[in-house]
A and B are shown apart, each in its own frame.
Chain A
Amino acid sequence: MSARIIPTTDTPGAHEAGVIFFIDRALATFAKDDRKAYALGLPELQARVRELFPSIAKFSAATSEQQDQILQSLDDQSPGAGGRRSRRSTAAQTFFETVRVHTIMGFLIDPDSDKRGNRDGVGWKVIGREPEHMFRPPFGYYDKDYPGWQPNPPDTEKSKS
């Protein structure tokens, strides 16, 4: 599921970042309270799989495209999901949202933390955050040719609105 939330494309995804190890550890430590969401949601997810694809026994046996369709049916907040908005949030929807947040956390957490996410810093690489914790200017495109501070032109009176 994480691998569909942040898929591997031409750049690494949740799989390469070891998100699954992050989630394992999270559920044993700081996210203990979310275990319930996983326990209640998982059977509902599998039921949803059989409802949408009667020939498939479980989520992991579905193709990536089928998995995306299943997740789309659980996501009541994304654009295009408006039709399902009126439905009561089910355990499967809560489960999806919890996994979504955990996946993003596991992909982008400081790789030096004790959380075991963002393996080798691949998540930061994907979003363009350099791995260091110490930088010198120039920082980006717009400040690289900055000529230094020039006083405001002496226009003018204070132009109060």
Chain B
Amino acid sequence: MSLDQPKYKTTDEVDFVIIGSGAAGGILAKELSGNGFRVVVLEQGPYLTEKDFVHDEIKVLNQDLLTNHPELQPTTFRKTPQDKAKPQRALVYGRLVGGTSTHFTANFWRFHEIDFIERSKVGPIAGATLSDWPITYADLEPYYTKVEWEIGVSGLAGASPFDPPRSKPYPMPPLPVKSSGVIFERAARKLGWHPFPAPMAILSEPRPGRSACINCGFCLAFGCEVGAKSSSLATAIRMAEKTGRCEIRPNSYVHRIDLDANGRATGAVYFDAQRNVQRQKARAIVVCANGAETPRLLLLSANKQFPDGLANSSGYVGKNLMLNSGGVTTAVFDEPLNDYKGFAVSRILHDFYELDPDKVGFHGGGGLDARFDMTPIGFALSNLPPGSPRWGKAFKEVLSHNFTRSCEIFGHGTSLPVENNSFSLDADLKDAWGLPALRLTYKDHPDDLKLSAWLNARSAELVDAAGAKKIWAPPVQEQQFAVHLLGTCRMGNDPQTSVIDSDHRTHDVKNLFLCDGSSLVTSGRGQPTMTIEALAFRAADRITALAKRGDLPT
């Protein structure tokens, strides 16, 4: 934690309160404080640092060292609004300074042109609220480049014939290839596809205060102990602190945004570490709490003027949730890959980014990657082939043989927005602070399920062409667990069918901005964080321009 941090009083009216310190919140904190504004970041989780990022699977995975805790913050799930929601763990996100970016896989795909204009291109789709974005790829391109250079993304420009145009190459070469990547590359080429080095938000070369990746092998779900993973914690938060104008206030769980009689947001009300209620005053508020907690906060902030939730005159707050589709195919090879070494993904392909619905019979598209993202205990408990022995000598034999010889092919694809798919407040269940729990309602659009099965079939073809000795994939099922949290406060020009405008300002409250996965209008092809960060850089420019021309009410 930087010593340059100011300590603002809750009664000081700072320029901006930012709620959430993850992929978007970190960048907005850096940019807005860098532009001269006084900023307080309220983060519900703790402020952990690199020394806390251990490789203890029990502490990290079973005890939720870095993530939302199912006992403190229980959740419910139902398939449709007609069903009664049942208590079950429905989502996972990073709950610490840096948010989910501290423990993610770090796949950093840009969205392509099509992702912004798909509705115009393909027309209406039954059962979906597919819509164009109010901005295009060209609007966002400079900000994608900014993410790559300022936050740190490794990759190889021009390696994929399907890539959208870019104004600059990557700032550093791709990470080294893994055995899974070589297998993937050779087999894909045999099939006439176009594999290429994965763009990853992990350093292949050191940067000031940060090491290049040391290939420790505890990457997905773990924090990086050398700062190589380009999380907000390792990048934007540090830069924000250096401005001397940004205070990061951890253990601050915001549960209400207050409005004055003129409909202007005046501050954020939160529980501090001792569960005392505090209220931070601000001229404007930017909510970056993720695609589940952002709509939840708006719904929790319902008042006389907005009885259905703050900034929810459209009724779209929490709705049109997209989780991304896809599937996992696992393969075992003759020789050791030792893929447990290193980050997860070294090769991907985008040949299937835009599938022709007339040929495949459904709408959608996606990509494939080769990876190994498992750690020893998790692998032993859940990654042996179906029907394997579960204990005894035979279990030990298959475990010992497979651990070094396995890899996975992931399919990642579109989710169509469906109005009923949502995060909302559960009517009965409360969290440990007495607030209504999150309720996930989700039933995949039929095309998403068809796409997942189609991608699984390509993955199986690929590992078969690679000479795998054993191949299996769990059957495609409807999802009931959320990791990517997208579309729940979507951006648009029409206040009837969107929550924020293209400046990320809510249509209803002029000094309230939202920026995170909830802003996305479409789901992309499965890797949303790069776009969330590009949007955050762009939002910071837009908000700064509005503030400088006096367009924020005071």
Binding site for B on A (CB under 8 A): 4-7, 9, 11, 13, 30, 68, 71, 75, 77-79, 100-101, 103-105, 107-110, 112-115, 123-124, 126-130, 133-137, 139-143, 146, 149, 151-153, 155-156, 158-161
Q: Which of B51-59, B102-110, B535-543 is the contact stretch?
A: B51-59
B residues 275-290 near A (Cβ < 8 Å) are: none
Q: Within the complex, which residue of B177, B180, B351, B377 is in contact with A161, where a contact is CB–CB below 8 Å? A: B351
- Report yes or no: A139 in contact with B342, Cβ–Cβ below 8 A: yes
- Report yes or no: A6 in contact with B390, Cβ–Cβ below 8 A: no
- Report yes or no: B339 in contact with A139, Cβ–Cβ below 8 A: yes
Which residues of the partner chain B approach A9 to less than 8 Å between Cβ atoms? 393, 396
- Report yes or no: B377 in contact with A128, Cβ–Cβ below 8 A: no
- Report yes or no: A7 in contact with B215, Cβ–Cβ below 8 A: no
- Report yes or no: B216 in contact with A105, Cβ–Cβ below 8 A: no
19 inter-chain pairs at a CB distance below 8 angstroms, sorted by A residue, are A78-B391, A108-B380, A109-B376, A113-B54, A115-B56, A126-B399, A129-B403, A130-B341, A133-B55, A139-B179, A140-B341, A140-B404, A142-B179, A142-B335, A143-B182, A146-B177, A149-B174, A151-B159, A158-B162
Output the nearest chain B residue to A5 by Cβ-Cβ distance: B391
Check if B11 is an interface residue, CB within 8 A of chain A.
no
Which residues of the partner chain A approach B216 to less than 8 Å between Cβ atoms? 133-135
Task: Tell me the interface secondary structure of chain B in the complex.
Answer: loop
Check if B189 is an interface residue, CB within 8 A of chain A.
yes
Check if B356 is an interface residue, CB within 8 A of chain A.
yes
Which residues of the partner chain A approach B404 to less than 8 Å between Cβ atoms? 127-129, 140
Q: Which of B138-146, B192-200, B525-533 is the contact stretch?
A: B192-200
- Report yes or no: B337 in contact with A141, Cβ–Cβ below 8 A: yes
**A108 to B178, alpha carbons, bound, how many Å?**
23
- Report yes or no: B179 in contact with A134, Cβ–Cβ below 8 A: no
Nearest Cβ on chain B to A151's Cβ, whole angstroms: 7
Nearest Cβ on chain A to B289's Cβ, whole angstroms: 29
- Report yes or no: B391 in contact with A6, Cβ–Cβ below 8 A: yes
- Report yes or no: A134 in contact with B194, Cβ–Cβ below 8 A: no
Output the nearest chain B residue to A148 by Cβ-Cβ distance: B177
Q: Given the known A-B contacts A13-B396, A142-B182, A146-B177, are A79 and B337 also in contact in the complex, defined by CB atoms under 8 Å? A: no
Nearest Cβ on chain A to B164's Cβ, whole angstroms: 13
**A37 to B72, alpha carbons, bound, how many Å?**
23
**A137 to B55, alpha carbons, bound, how many Å?**
21
Output the nearest chain A residue to B216 by Cβ-Cβ distance: A133
- Report yes or no: A108 in contact with B377, Cβ–Cβ below 8 A: yes
B residues 180-213 near A (Cβ < 8 Å) are: 180-183, 189, 192-197
Q: Given the known A-B contacts A139-B342, A140-B338, are A5 and B392 also in contact in the complex, defined by CB atoms under 8 Å? A: yes
Which residues of the partner chain A approach B387 to less than 8 Å between Cβ atoms? 79
- Report yes or no: B161 in contact with A152, Cβ–Cβ below 8 A: yes
Q: Given the known A-B contacts A135-B341, A140-B339, are A4 and B54 also in contact in the complex, defined by CB atoms under 8 Å? A: no
Nearest Cβ on chain B to A143's Cβ, whole angstroms: 5
- Report yes or no: B342 in contact with A161, Cβ–Cβ below 8 A: no
Which 3 A-B pairs rank lowest in CB-CB distance, beginning with the nearest?
Answer: A141-B335, A140-B179, A140-B338
Output the nearest chain A residue to B360 by Cβ-Cβ distance: A161
